[in-house]
Structure 1
Amino acid sequence: MITFILNNKTIKTSEHSGTTLLDFVRYQQRLTGTKIGCREGDCGACTLLVGTHNGNTMEYQSITSCISPLGNAHGKHIVTIEGTNLKDKLTTAQEAMKANYATQCGFCTPGFVVALTGFALSNSDKNYTNAIDAISGNICRCTGYKAIEKAAHQVVKKLNNNTNTTFDWLIENQFIPEYYKSIPQRLKDIETKDLEQPKGKYVSGGTDLYVQQADNLADNDVHLIAEKDYLKGITIENGICTIGTNATVSDLWNHKKLNTLLPNLRKHLKLVSSEQIRNMASLGGNLVNASPIGDMTIFFLSLNSNITILNTEEKERTIALKNFYKGYKTYDLKEEELLKSIQFKLPSKQSYFNFEKVCKRTHLDIASVNSAIHITIENNVILEAHVSIGGVAAIPKYLHETSAFLVNKSLTLDTIIEANQILQKEVSPISDVRGTSDYKRLLARQLFFAHFTTLFSEQFTLKDFIQHA
């Protein structure tokens, strides 16, 4: 029995756990303020909040409910637009949208209000940049985004960078209704034993699977693994980072130590989908999706990562991620095996990491070509190099020959230009909706050069490469 709190109501349901949370909320509970838009997680009209009780605290995150399985709500507090309402007056987020004329047809408005409410509830710094990030997955087609940005600014102003945004403070300042105070204890009181899981397709966040197979997953058995503790967590020990495959991009975003070791981590991760998707998509799911342009796959390939694989008998095996992919959407994973963790050596003082991506719009889009590099330099000599690229082959591509060529070479313009010539022989792009093969080859070259102009801006400029390439 799936058990959770929906707004201020305890739900116990035997509905199929593979049904989307959106359909359950709208059709079973008749909470139609949550809208159906793209059903692909792109528009944000279906945004809900998911509250998780962690010890003595509640953590709220926004998600797109159109691609989230109902079973993942088990033991959580789910909040729709109706669950944010105050009695006889507007909440702070609602009032900000109204005061700034940030709504026209109103279809997208509930998603924006829920996302801004989630921002107020979050543990992030209450500044304007984070507020805009919070609504990065919400699209409005008719009002004009500046009015919505002004609404976000009004919310930030009322928060006044208050780090002590307790339920009491948020209730007093009309961000949330009073019933929120009862949620932690009510979640404690609910006996949420692990769901009985049938044999079926493994599903974690579901953000890619539900785009492709929502109806099929709603009708057939699914085995939900998002709450499996042995697949969670990020640990750093003896210079090795180990990430459970249930970890999300947001988990990386919020990890203080990783942000210290990879100073531009958030800059890179901001190019990966929207905040709602970053909150729910698992890293393991990104790897086994095996998309040739999977952002996090390209990211981890360049870190020369290993992956640990677990079978039903709890036996483990570890392989290099660069050897995992065998062909288009095929990989070295046997039936009933799961990816357990990702491991990589942490950057040293002499090493550098960079991620680049080109797509039709800057954020919340699929890459035409993406690329990453991890390179170690000492006395201007390349001691180690790992280059990966997506969108130019049938698999997420680790550039074996290009990487090997760079090792023990001096970091010079000639070295990089010659490495690009090897890169061009390693890639085999095809023409599709994201660009012609020639265009993708050009992007591959430019992104490869961009790694060096970004990491070593005092040595190289893009003009240098263009003149000599």
Structure 2
Amino acid sequence: MPPGMLLLDFIRYHQHLTGTKIGCNEGDCGACTVLIGSLQEGRLRYRSFTSCLTPLGNAHGKHVVTIEGINGEGLNPIQQAMYDESATQCGFCTPGFVMSLAGFCLGQQPPTVQNAITAVDGNICRCTGYKSIERAAARVARLLQQRDGEPPAVFAAEQQLLPAYFAGIQERLLALQLSMNGEFEPADDVTAHYMGGGTDVYVQKPEEMKQKAIRFLFDQSLLNGIVEEDGRCVLGPAVTVTDLQESPVMRSYFPRLDKYIRLVSSTPIRNMATIGGNFINASPIGDFTIFFLALDAMLVFNSGRELPLRQLYKGYKQLNRAPGEYLTKIWFRLPTAQSRFNFEKVSKRTNLDIASVNTAIHLQLAGNVITAALLAAGGVAPVPMLLQKTAAYITGKPVTEKLVHETIAMAQTEITPISDARGAAEYKRLLLGQLVKAHFITLFPQLQVAAVLNNYA
């Protein structure tokens, strides 16, 4: 099978496991959700993936679980909860919901009702109504409350939440890992397409990717991990959004991280999407591109070249990158006690949507005076951008309500938004102004910032 083939196609057309459904083919509906289990630092970890955006090569050496793989005799307790709560009607979306809840049973997060509901945030149902699905999720959460530190796969097998074979998967994957010769490198062609999570490229050109020469970067051990070194955070470009969210380093230095990440995509996409891929995709509204621009992140390429993230973008979808170069490392200086950081985003839906405008700010303070500033914005120019004139203007000034309005006015001189499906240019100007206000209100709650009435058209 070509490694660029979609996992969904392999499951349905080659393994003939048709319980996994074809829906949107864009990772939005969750009908194709599967679980993928892998060994991470010796520990078995399962995460939900949308198989419609997963290349077969990214499943190499892993345990892929479809809806057919979670049954024993009759319905399992997750399916029974869906049945008892009348949480299914036409049934097309049901396998995806069941698989997401199975992933919750195999995860490390506390078994709360809210976490169970969050686990299905990438699944759409068009006919049943979500309250019955939420009740089923709550029942599943209650089934896990006696776990008490036991490995999730072992507990799920012992309690017959999932088949008994799950208890032995860790040993089987370890044996498989030992039998494999190094990491998966199916293409040695310098013109090969470098592949991370695939969450955007498979939306854009799925048919083309099936036959391409691909070098898979998603599971390269040297491209993963998040560590703190001498006041810096160093992360591999293959780190996923979920890895970022679960990182003790990131959680320690960014206490609002959960709030930021709730604004970004859905659980399965966060499990797949890589930070390096977000940068290289070069979208003007890439959420984590904006996040890391405000941290003045540095990029290291396999050539040994080091480049500030702010210098990566030469124009719309144009990168300062040589042929054959790919990211090997990302690093940034960690915030200090004198730092203030915040990320904001507005989209047509609060969650699970692409930004109309997003922005991040990073300030250094001496008392009430700004000694250094970085302000990044997306959706207001052809590239993700740092508002350098605005940052220079506010540096050296005390934080006041007047400065907030001056910051907004200065930012308007740097941006060039266009009207598109996500909003009119005038609307995006207004949004950026409101989000700058939100930065200051969040970071300096003592401020009483009046409404911005300027016309930015």
| TM-score bracket for this pair, using the shorter chain length | over 0.9
The reply on whether 1:275 has 2:263 as its aligned counterpart is: no
- Asked if the contact 1:310–1:317 (Cα under 8 Å) also holds between the matched residues in 2, the reply is yes
Corresponding residue for 1:163?
Answer: 148
Question: What is the distance in 2 between the residues matched to 1:113 and 1:82?
Answer: 11
Matched, 1:215 2:207: yes
In structure 2, how many angstroms separate the alpha carbons of the residues matched to 1:109 and 1:99?
13
CA distance in 2, matches of 1:467, 1:439: 13
Counterpart of 1:431 in structure 2: which amino acid? S
In 1: Cα distance, 2:235 partner to 2:111 partner: 28
| Residues 154, 166 of structure 2: 8 Å contact kept | no
| Separation in structure 2 between the aligned mates of residue 164 and residue 336 of structure 1, nearest angstrom | 45
Q: Do the aligned residues in 2 keep the contact of 1:97 with 1:151 (CA within 8 Å)? A: yes
Pick from 83, 86, 92 the counterpart of residue 101 of structure 1: 86
Shift of 1:468: 8.6
Q: Distance in 2 between matches of 1:456 and 1:372?
A: 15
CA offsets, 1:206-259, max 9 Å, x none? 111111011000022111111111111111011110111000111111012321
1:143 aligns with 2:111: no
Alignment partner of 1:129 is 2:118: no
AA paired with 1:21? L
State the distance in 2 between where 1:169 and 1:127 align.
Answer: 16
Q: Select between 376-385 and 190-199 the one with higher mean Cα deviation.
A: 190-199
Alignment map for 1:2-21 (pairs within 5 Å): 15-21=1-7
1:10 maps to: none
Distance 2:345 2:185 in 1: 41
Other structure's SS at 2:299 match: strand
Matched residue SS, 2:452: helix
Correspondences of 1:7-406 after superposition (within 5 Å): 15-54=1-40, 56-87=42-73, 89-160=74-145, 162-166=147-151, 167-190=153-176, 191-193=179-181, 194-198=183-187, 199=189, 200-311=192-303, 316-406=304-394
- Report the AA paired with residue 397 of structure 2: K
Query: By how many angstroms is 1:129 displaced?
Result: 2.1
Letter in 2 for 1:111: G
CA shift for structure 1 position 400: 0.8
Q: Kindly provide the CA deviation profile for residues 40-92 of structure 1, in whole angstroms up to 9, marking residues without a partner as x.
A: 111111111010123543110111110010011111000000011112x2212
What is the identity, as a one-letter code, of the residue corresponding to 2:31?
A: A
CA drift of 1:123 comes to: 1.1
Deviation at 1:174, TM superposition (A): 2.2
Q: Provide the secondary structure at the position in 1 that maps to 2:407.
A: helix
Separation in 1, partners of 2:223, 2:274:
10
- Per the TM alignment, residue 185 of structure 1 is displaced from its structure 2 partner at its CA by 2.2
Following superposition, the deviation at residue 161 of structure 1 comes to 6.0
User: Any conservation in 1 of the 2:157–2:165 contact (CA below 8 Å)?
Assistant: no
Structure 1 residues 428 and 203: alpha-carbon distance in aligned structure 2, compared to 1, 3 A threshold? same
Seen in structure 2, the aligned counterparts of structure 1 residues 238 and 181 have a Cα distance that, compared at 3 Å, is same
* SS across alignment from 1:206: coil
Mapped contact 1:125–1:163 kept (Cα < 8 A): no
Q: Which of 404, 423, 440 is the matching residue for 1:416?
A: 404
User: How many pairs were matched up?
Assistant: 448
Moved more, 190-199 or 115-124: 190-199
Q: Deviations over 1:181-221 (max 9, x none)?
A: 23222223332233342221111111111110110000221
Letter aligned with residue 291 of structure 2: F
In structure 2, relative to structure 1, the CA distance for the partners of 1:379 and 1:195 (3 Å cut) is: closer
Tell me if structure 1 keeps the 8 A contact 2:364–2:370.
yes
Of 152-161 and 354-363, more deviation after overlay is shown by 152-161
Deviation at 1:460, TM superposition (A): 2.9
Distance 1:325 1:219 in 2: 28
Give me the whole-angstrom Cα distance separating, in 1, the residues matched to 2:60 and 2:237. 20
CA distance in 2, matches of 1:234, 1:54: 13
Q: In 1, Cα distance between the equivalents of 2:277 and 2:250?
A: 21
CA distance in structure 1 between the partners assigned to 2:128 and 2:60 by the alignment: 36
Cα distance in 1 for residues equivalent to 2:113 and 2:387: 39
Looking at structure 2, the residues matched to 468 and 138 of structure 1 have their Cα atoms a distance apart, in angstroms, of 40
Q: Is the 8 A contact 2:223 2:239 kept in 1?
A: yes
Query: Within 2, Cα distance between the matches of 1:435 and 1:61?
Result: 34
Any idea what SS the aligned residue of 1:371 has?
Answer: strand
- 1:3 is matched with none
